[in-house]
Every structure is written in C-alpha cells, then in structure tokens.
Structure 1
Amino acid sequence: MILSNDFSRRAFGAMLLGSTAAACAPQVPLSEPEADLPAREEWVEGYEPLFDSGYNLPGIPSRYLEGVNRRMTGVYQGEAPPNSIDVDPYAKFLYHVKSDGTATRYPVGVGRAGTSIRGRATMQFKRKWPGWTPTQNMLRTQPEVYGDFRAGIPGGLRSPLGARALYLFRNGRDTYYRIHGTNDLRSIGNSGSAGCIRLFNQDIIHLYNQIEAPMPVLIRSPAESLRVDPENYNRGIELPPTMIPAEELLGPEAEANDRPPVFDELSPGMI
C-alpha cells in the first residue's frame, strides 16, 4: 500500500471503505459434517478465524467491520510522539505511532462516561492469553456484579481480557487499566466497558506483535480529540452494563466447550 504525505483524516476513512469489500479471504475448512456447516462467510482480510497458542479464535463477521471499524495504516495526524500508543476514547480509535510518521489505527471499545483513564501512562508489560481478576474497587462498589469472580477467571477463550493484554502504569504504579482483546464484538466502536480499552482479538494480537514494552501511552482528552479528529468525535453509542453469568464463564461446561462466551445484542461484558 503506497502512502502519501497528505493522507488526511478523511482519506484515512475513504481508503478504509474502499478496501473493506475487496480484501476478503475464504473461510477456513471446518471439520463438522457438511450438513451442520453454517452459511459460508467471506472473511475480511486480517479478521479470519485464527489458531493462536492452542486456541481457536472465531473470525470477525464483516458486519462488525463496516466503515472505519477495522484496522488500517496511514500517515499519522495526531500529537503523540513516535514509538508510542495514542488512544482516542471519543473517536474510538487506538493508534500505534511509528518512527516513520505513519500509524496503524485500530477501532476500540472504551469505558462508559466517567470510568476511563485519561492523560499519559506507560505500557509497562504485555501478556498472551492473560487471566483476569476484579479489582478491590470493583468488588467494593459492585459486589453483585463481580463477587462471583473474586477468585478470577483463568486465561483462555473465556477470559474478559481476550487473547492479549497490555498493562498500563503511571509513575511506576499499576493503574489497573488494560488495553486488551474482547469477544464482545458489538462493543468495538462504542462505550460500555468499566474503563479498559478493548480491541478485536485479531487486532490486539496484531498490535502485540508490533510493539515492545515499555512504551508511552497517551489517552486523549476531549479537547485533544476535537482538535485532532473532529470528524469522528463521539462516534458510537453508550451500551448498558450487563453481565455474562458466572456459570457460563466458570462452570464445568465452559472448559468442556472450549469456546468464547456468547454475547447477546445488549451485553458489553464486565471490564
């Protein structure tokens, strides 16, 4: 892909729209009998089903990747330094800013109003297939939501942190905010988490493979978002905070099925 120096925000979106329909790959073969196969899906390139570290990740259906809601690379227009991560929680994008003046942009889901981290932080370390444990603040303020998960959820297809997690620190201390994968596809491009920054699992794996810790992270303020990307300011909707039942994530059938949890149309998950 050839990039020009005058690659504007609007061109960023236009190139994305132009490439979405063209860059598709066939569905990987399945082992089930032909009569049980679902309708054939033409996967968008980069979002196909993926076998990763012993886990089978499902592909991302194209309906979740429409418009600007997919990964692409272009000339960086923001205000973060090279070799850093720039998160716009209002436009719902994360940028991996590179030393050559380009950036890879990923769509993200972010926290509900008043729950997200702001300002500068450091991605101190990163993990593959991380487990998750609710913070003491989560347990104290919402025991009815998080109490059943006090002991945590092990890494794997059912972990709310998905396939990868980046751990954000400030002044040497853990903020307890993460940049991580998710199985809740509808949340990407919207607000609904308890504050963390979510990516499609395919995107967090792609980002993870491009970066090294430690790395500076900027989470834009409303003024920064409006200054840099007014076209996409406040895109998406705020989703209601509903829960996946504990028995679906922790019960014996969870390990036996070895599949991601099923989210309904109103379920943005836990974190």
Structure 2
Amino acid sequence: MFTRRTFLGAASAAAVSACTRTPEPQPAMAFQQTDAPPPEPVIPPLPARYGAITDEPFPVPAIPEGVVPENLWMQEVDSPFRGHAPGSIVIDPDAGFLHFMLQDGRALRYGVGTGAQGRGWHGEAVVQFAREWPRWKVPDEMIARRPDLEPYSVANGGMDGGPGNPLGARALYLFQNGQDTLYRIHGACEPEYLGQAVSSGCIRMLDQDVIDLNERVAHHAKVTVLPSLRPGPLPGVY
C-alpha cells in the first residue's frame, strides 16, 4: 500500500539520486612507449694492413680499432688533382689528405696530420731523400719554443731513431731549389690526431702508411703542399 511514509522515502531517495553524479567512464590510459636506447654504432674493422708490423728494426704497434675514421684509411680514389703527373704527391692540409698520383686519373689517398695554423709550410718541393727510422734533429726555431728539446738539437746530434722518436718509421725530406725546407713527410702520427692540424709543421702519417708511401716514391718526386685556408690559430702538438 502506498503510504505517506513510502512517498517521503521515495522522494528522499530521488533527491539523493538527483544530487549524485553518475561517474563517467574514464578513457583507457594510453600506452606509454619508452624510447629504446639508440643502437651502438657499427665500427668497421680496420684493414689488415693496419695491424702490427714485426719485421721492422723496431716494432710498429697495431692501430686501435674505432680511432681512425674510415675516410682516412689508405684507399684508391679518383684524383682531384688531374694536372699532376703519376708519382707526384699533392697534400691538402685542410682536408687532411695526401694524394699519391697513379695512372689514368687515379690516386692513393692517405690521411695525414698537418701543421697547426702559422706553422705549416706550403709550396712546391721535391723528395730529396728518405730515411728509415731517422734521427730527429730539432731545428733551432722549435727549440726556441721548446727549450726542453735542446738535447736533441742539430748541434747535439739529435735523437736516435726508434720508438718515441717523433719522426717514426720513415721520413721523406723536402727540398726546394736545392735547399732543405726543414719540413718532412714522416710517421709517428698518433691515430687520434690523424686528419687534424696539430703538428709543429710537418706532414705526419701513420707508420703503416708512411712505410707504404716510402716504397712507392721515387727520388726527386715532386711534392705540392696546398696553402691552408683554415682561419684562426690552433694549439700545437709536438
């Protein structure tokens, strides 16, 4: 039976229901994808020619993997200097390349370290002679910058060839008009500095590369060192 009490109870329930908001369905939480770590860079293995050399008077250590960029490895390329005769050398210090000219517009390209700003030499010269594991006779102008090198001056007979000698396994001596330029193409370039302009002026190569180049270069081969267009001074490494 519908009584007044029933009516009031129903009315109260309706009022409470009217004031209570039915919860709206919540959207499903979007799946949050975390970024995957980037893949490890693939380091191409060095050619076997950059391994250790054990049949020299002094050991030549292997070049560490992942230190020398692939573009600085010795490789045959189309020559960008077509006007130069086979057997000649062209060095581009800003690019960090030495090109040894071959036949038919081809060249062997080697990575090199070059002279820091203000210390590099440029021009045309010839390879007057070459030396295996040469003595290092420090020029007076370098001793003026580095007095600690005075024991290895020309007057004191220089430094014996071998490990620790900054000329490395080979040195090609550049002369211009019969005069020593005091600049060399030589080994002992630390792999991490290959392609950079950080030396005291000479053209530095990996020992494996300078040994190879020395076997190819003829007496009095022409060498052209292009001028550097690099702005600003750079720190020197001796």
Structure showing greater Rg: 2
Tell me the equivalent position of 1:100: 104
**1:109 and 1:68 mapped to 2: Cα distance?**
14
Query: Match for 1:124: what amino acid?
Result: Q
What's the % identity of the aligned pairs?
35
Correspondence 1:174-213 to 2 at 5 A: 174-213=180-219
Tell me the equivalent position of 2:227: 221
Tell me, what secondary structure is at the counterpart of 1:178? strand
**1:143 and 1:192 mapped to 2: Cα distance?**
15
User: Is the alpha carbon distance of 1:163 and 1:124 closer, same or farther for their aligned partners in structure 2, counting shifts above 3 Å?
Assistant: same
Query: Match for 2:75: what amino acid?
Result: M
- Return 5+ residue gaps in structure 1 as ranges: 1-19, 25-42, 224-233, 242-267
Of 168, 179, 184, the match for 1:173: 179
Higher helix share: 1
Question: C-alpha deviations, 1:216-270, integer Å up to 9, x for none?
Answer: 00011247xxxxxxxxxx6xx98633xxxxxxxxxxxxxxxxxxxxxxxxxx3x2
Tell me the equivalent position of 1:90: 94
**1:187 and 1:204 mapped to 2: Cα distance?**
15
Tell me, what secondary structure is at the counterpart of 1:68? helix
User: Is the alpha carbon distance of 1:240 and 1:222 closer, same or farther for their aligned partners in structure 2, counting shifts above 3 Å?
Assistant: closer
Tell me the equivalent position of 1:46: 49
TM-score by length of 2: 0.74
Tell me, what secondary structure is at the counterpart of 1:105? strand
Report the Cα offset of residue 83 of structure 1: 1.7
Report the Cα offset of residue 144 of structure 1: 2.5
Query: Match for 1:98: what amino acid?
Result: L
| Contact 1:190–1:239 (Cα < 8 Å) also in 2 | no
**Which structure exhibits the higher relative contact order, with contacts defined as CA atoms closer than 8 Å and separated by 6 or more residues?**
2
User: Is the alpha carbon distance of 1:93 and 1:240 closer, same or farther for their aligned partners in structure 2, counting shifts above 3 Å?
Assistant: same
Of 216, 235, 238, the match for 1:240: 235
- Return 5+ residue gaps in structure 2 as ranges: 1-42
**2:51 and 2:210 mapped to 1: Cα distance?**
14
TM-score by length of 1: 0.65
| Contact 1:44–1:62 (Cα < 8 Å) also in 2 | no
| Contact 1:190–1:238 (Cα < 8 Å) also in 2 | no
Q: CA RMSD in A?
A: 2.1
Report the Cα offset of residue 210 of structure 1: 1.3
- How many positions carry a matched residue from both structures? 191
